[in-house]
Structure 1
């Protein structure tokens, strides 16, 4: 590839970023090419390729006017750097800059990790059922590694509040619901009250990824093991079971009602939610009953987030995501599922 085909890329000043990479001591050949990758709606991700075929990944906040979200990339860089010497699989960080000579927003340059990202149906369909199962079962093992990190030793003890995580989550997302709801939903209000009444005591504090699911990891082509966990900008300190509960909430099985379009994890081969939970609990020795609470809270939180996405799309059609907008039927189905899990858990 040459400079003749290097088209401008929104969000990236090619010459400035090239100069920054040179200042970091990163070796590259010829003109760099920047291409948007991934389906994420928060931080923007670019694949950087030189004329010799070497690759890197660049991250920056979304375009437009931003407030605190501009801090997310720096937060992600800090966490990735801290995890570099742990068992958690993460890409290596090459640099972070806020320098206006190079960028109008924080930029994070990190290692390109080759592998499989199951972020769309076509990718899942290209895998054998055996490989799907390997990838699925690797997820709870990776979460166990994340939750085993000694946050003091790696310098992340001050990453976030040490106050009880369940109360923090309920307060935050209840406020979000009130600000974004499109209708009254008594079932959600009832579920909120039940979650508040059953709030568990916090017995341990760990690193929490905050957005751990199959689309946010890279798996090995050869073994299905997770070779990189991605998207750490929502990471915090809290109850480790929160991550597993959220992952179960996002995990769709064949036969789940009200989910809309078919989900990759519903294909033959991917493990069930019960299998995922069993692997995690066997790895960590944590309480199965407590996980039920966090699974319920995870479903409640996903429903609140989906309502917000739907509200923004109604208010401004340009906010509609390419992958589709949640519907009232899908959100109501999430709440019904959450109520069922809560009933089974005695919440």
Structure 2
């Protein structure tokens, strides 16, 4: 049975079945088909076939120019992580051939049993402050585990050489492209130039390359229902090989504040402080975290500029005004947080 909520134009189940048969996966009819909801533009569908459960991930029906390449990269990283202790969704098989399913690549992964803490907390988490506190350390431990993976099997994936040197020019250049949008008055971001200059002056001289998630924050983690453990790190769209300490900076830049404020993430009462998160990562990792504030500032800088792009598009009538206003306010908050780290 196919759920009425699924757009059948998105998934060609006949082609999918033929492809799965060619992969040696269990055959039979598709059962218990349904959407996997979440904050992603990609299409995710859960189903069972031959007694096994799967989640299929593919680009949207109206993909962006790089959508297929993004999915190929995700699948390649998940394949590299499949036999490691990293809490990543377990890849079953990937189809990099765009001709199999309507000009879209796709991959199959095992379903993740877990919940998004920024949406709500089940029991026992909601009623146990110790579990909630431990969730923050488990998020940090999962990140440290990712930072230990040997990236050398991912030849040609990312450009770790000059990674840190490229960051400020790359994102200042991105900001300049928004000027082409009619109606955008320009980046009214207090502290923009000051932050860029500080990052250039204080840039670490070297780093050890590794696999980066690229968007590591609380909303991209699924926690186990029975305790504080991270069941899976999800949404690998921005993964690359670069400096994994930027993932730590990203976590700090977006970490909910003790007063209930947060950057893109909901408030979860009782989490560790940002200082405790840094101390936990330092204890678990061989990486030098002495410049962690620099990475947190870079994360605020980069994420703020990314979000400002939606504000610019909203000024040009290409995105909802309320969303643009909200994300511009978040950009200003991120740059204010950058100043506190500086």
Same fold (TM over 0.5): yes
Q: Kindly state the Cα deviation for residue 10 of structure 1 after the two structures are TM-superposed.
A: 5.0
The answer to whether residue 98 in structure 2 is matched with residue 94 in structure 1 is no
Alignment CA distance shift 1:55-1:323 (3 Å): farther
Listed as ranges, the gaps of 5+ residues in structure 1 are 343-347
CA contact 2:160–2:243 (8 Å) conserved in 1? no
Q: CA 1:223–1:40 in 2, change beyond 3 Å: closer, same or farther?
A: same
Measured on the aligned residues, the alpha-carbon RMSD in Å equals 3.0
Structure 2 equivalent of residue 18 of structure 1: 17
User: Counterpart of 1:326 in 2: which secondary structure?
Assistant: helix
Q: Distance in 2 between matches of 1:232 and 1:340?
A: 29
Q: TM-score, normalised by structure 1?
A: 0.84
Counterpart residue number, 2:76? 78
Deviation at 1:193, TM superposition (A): 1.7
Answering whether residue 54 of structure 2 is matched by residue 56 of structure 1, we say yes
Deviation at 1:278, TM superposition (A): 1.1
Distance 1:4 1:89 in 2: 29
Deviation by residue 1:111-145 (Cα, 9 ceiling, x = unmatched): 11212222424669973333322322111111111
Gaps of 5+ in 2: none
Q: Is the 8 A contact 1:119 1:215 kept in 2?
A: yes
Alignment of 1:210 onto 2:208: no
Deviates more, 1:181-190 or 1:244-253: 181-190
Residue 242 to residue 103, structure 1, CA distance change in 2 (3 Å): same
Are 2:310 and 2:327, in contact at CA under 8 Å, matched by a contact in 1? no
Secondary structure in structure 2 of the residue aligned to 1:162? coil
- Written as runs of structure 1 = structure 2, the 5 A alignment for 1:1-347 is 2=1, 8-27=7-26, 30-49=29-48, 54-97=52-95, 98-121=97-120, 127-128=126-127, 129-152=129-152, 155-180=153-178, 182=184, 183=186, 184-255=188-259, 263-264=265-266, 266-316=267-317, 319-320=319-320, 326-342=326-342
TM-score with structure 2 length normalisation?
Answer: 0.86
Cα separation, 2, equivalents of 1:21 and 1:321: 43
By how many angstroms is 1:281 displaced? 1.0
CA deviations over 1:284-339 (Å, ceiling 9, x no partner): 1444431010011111112111111222233345x449988634433222212211
Greater share of residues in helix: 1
Aligned residue for 1:289, secondary structure, equals coil
Tell me what 1:345 maps to: none
Cα displacement (A) at 1:341: 1.1
User: For the structure 1 residues 310 and 328, does the alpha-carbon distance in structure 2 shift closer, same or farther, using more than 3 Å as the test?
Assistant: same
Q: Secondary structure at the match of 1:139?
A: helix
